[in-house]
């Protein structure tokens, strides 16, 4: 009997081993090409290190750290290491707020004033749906200091005034960090708990995201990568001090690692199921992943996953090389990140890097090519410039504003120019002030080359309620026309 039992166990172990290679085996046999791309891109971009993970169906099939987590000590990046993920945080905030709507604590399409108190009268007319879909018409900014007390989140939101709204709500996509700061305030008000505690209880614990936190004092108890920055080809240096601004936590300040994010992707791609349990409802996943508003801009920088995109709640949605992808990137001083999910194929790719704004787009694309049946990549061609008469150019000239951002279209010597100004502030660091010639490349679509770039960026002009060209949409933000140049 014992002999038969031993034979049975041996056969069972053999079948288990045949069921799939180990993480290390898959790394060696299937992902060598990816690893070469990652190492080359780290060198090319001057990024000290990164963590990369690939999810297939219900498990992580690849996870590895590359490079160093600290240029001063040379400590290596490990895949369990925490990184700041910047705006990928919005995906998490949206999930928590939608879960509260499923419990009847807020109606996403009703004015905020029906559910919470303390907001400016004009802001109370906005809806949670508009905030989460970046369609509330709220200006954009992001501060990197200096509030450290968690009471600063509700204090800041209650101090917001109606002038935060610059465009007609519900009409145009315009990326807005303050929209998600207000969403974090809603989570506090509806749960009666601090934002970080509410996120821990409602999302991180149920999903088993045991290393995800907003609190620096908690993050430093885990393996933690330092953040770095570098100008051009200069040697990367550690960002000091480690940036922290509590009111902005809901928009971009989560610490996490690729394994915790992988657990979120598995639940998202499996209708809310994780480890055999229903941890998020299918209707919640459907709400997050429904396309609510078109994203009318083209991104001149890789990854080129924004052409024809729409936005759901905390996620961009796009058809890319034949695959339907849900994605978001993040940039915060010291770190850059990107997450992509392909639910139809149940594949996700996560890349976390420790240099400001680094995406590692070549590595991302290679990981997707190894994991998905993507269509052949079409070569990129520069769009041909279209003629513009002087009378046509004069229809476009004017000043377009979004908060502190000021863009002017002007005509000089028979040519159209774009002048962009953003002030230098203590909170946000270096500003920008440049002027570049503009070419027309389509109907109300234009191209210019920002300083330091080799390929052109595009912007579009969009009509307002009266049909007049009223908004300039560039990168992820809209700016409203406040005056026509003379």
Give residue-wise pLDDT tens across range 417-427.
999 987 754 34
Alpha-carbon distance of 49 to 54, in angstroms, equals: 17
CA distances from 319 to 174, 374, 422 (A): 20, 11, 33
* pLDDT, mean of residues 428-432: 53
Q: Is the pLDDT of residue 9 over 60?
A: no
Name the token pair of 311.
């936005």
Fold of the CATH domain 25-380: Beta-lactamase (3.40.710)
The whole-number pLDDT of residue 466 equals: 80
* pLDDT, mean of residues 276-293: 98
| Interval 50-61: pLDDT, tens | 999 999 999 999
Residue 431's pLDDT band (cuts 50, 70, 90)? low
Domain ranges of the chain: 25-380, 390-483
Q: Is the pLDDT of residue 21 over 60?
A: no
* pLDDT, mean of residues 285-303: 86
Cα end-to-end distance, the chain, whole Å: 97
CATH placement of domain 390-483:
2.40.128.50
Residue-averaged pLDDT of the chain: 90
Residue 395's pLDDT band (cuts 50, 70, 90)? very high
Alpha-carbon distance of 176 to 319, in angstroms, equals: 23
| Whole-structure pTM value | 0.91
Residue 12's pLDDT band (cuts 50, 70, 90)? very low
Residue 208's pLDDT band (cuts 50, 70, 90)? very high
The whole-number pLDDT of residue 15 equals: 32
**Cβ atoms 371, 62 nearer than 8 A:** no
């Amino acid at each position: 009997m014992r002999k038969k039992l031993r034979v049975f166990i041996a056969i069972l172990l053999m079948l288990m081993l045949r069921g799939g290679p180990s993480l290390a085996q898959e790394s060696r046999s299937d992902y060598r090409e990816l690893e070469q791309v990652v190492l080359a891109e780290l060198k090319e971009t001057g990024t000290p290190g990164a963590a990369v993970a690939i999810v297939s169906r219900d498990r992580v099939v690849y996870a590895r750290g590359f490079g160093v987590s600290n240029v001063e000590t040379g400590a290596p990046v490990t895949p369990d290491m925490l990184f700041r993920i910047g705006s990928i945080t919005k995906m998490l905030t949206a999930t928590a707020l939608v879960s509260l709507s499923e419990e009847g604590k807020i109606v996403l399409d009703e004015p905020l004033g029906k559910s919470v108190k303390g907001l400016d009268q004009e802001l109370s007319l906005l809806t949670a749906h508009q905030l989460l879909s970046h369609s509330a018409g709220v200006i954009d900014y992001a501060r990197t200091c200096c509030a450290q007390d968690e009471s600063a989140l509700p204090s800041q939101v209650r101090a917001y005034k109606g002038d935060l709204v610059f465009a007609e709500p519900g009409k145009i996509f315009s990326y807005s960090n303050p929209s998600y700061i207000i969403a974090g305030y809603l989570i506090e008000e509806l749960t009666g708990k601090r934002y970080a505690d509410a996120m821990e209880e409602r999302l991180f614990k149920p999903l088993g995201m045991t290393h995800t936190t907003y609190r620096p004092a908690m993050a430093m108890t885990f393996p933690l990568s330092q953040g770095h920055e570098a100008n051009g080809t200069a040697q990367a240096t550690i960002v000091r001090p480690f940036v922290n601004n509590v009111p902005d936590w809901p928009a971009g300040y989560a610490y996490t690692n690729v394994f915790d994010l992988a657990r979120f992707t598995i639940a998202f791609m499996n209708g809310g199921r994780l480890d055999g349990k229903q941890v998020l409802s299918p209707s919640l996943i459907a709400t997050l992943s429904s396309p609510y508003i078109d994203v009318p801009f083209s991104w001149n920088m890789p990854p080129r996953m924004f052409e024809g995109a729409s936005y759901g709640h905390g996620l961009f949605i796009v058809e890319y090389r034949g695959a339907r992808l849900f994605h978001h990137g993040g940039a915060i001083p010291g770190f850059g990140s990107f997450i992509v999910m392909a639910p139809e194929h149940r594949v996700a790719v996560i890349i976390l890097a420790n240099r400001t704004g680094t995406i590692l787009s070549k590595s991302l694309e290679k990981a997707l090519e190894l994991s998905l049946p993507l269509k052949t990549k079409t070569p990129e061609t520069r769009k041909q410039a279209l003629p513009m008469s002087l009378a046509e150019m004069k229809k476009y000239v004017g000043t377009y504003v979004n908060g502190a951002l000021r863009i002017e279209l002007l005509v000089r010597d028979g040519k159209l120019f774009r002048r962009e100004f953003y002030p230098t502030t203590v909170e946000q660091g270096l500003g920008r002030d440049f002027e570049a010639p503009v070419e027309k490349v389509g109907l109300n679509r234009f191209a210019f080359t920002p300083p330091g770039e080799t390929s052109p960026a595009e912007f579009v002009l969009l009509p307002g309620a009266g049909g007049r060209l009223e908004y300039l949409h560039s990168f992820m933000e809209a700016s409203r026309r406040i005056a026509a140049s003379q």
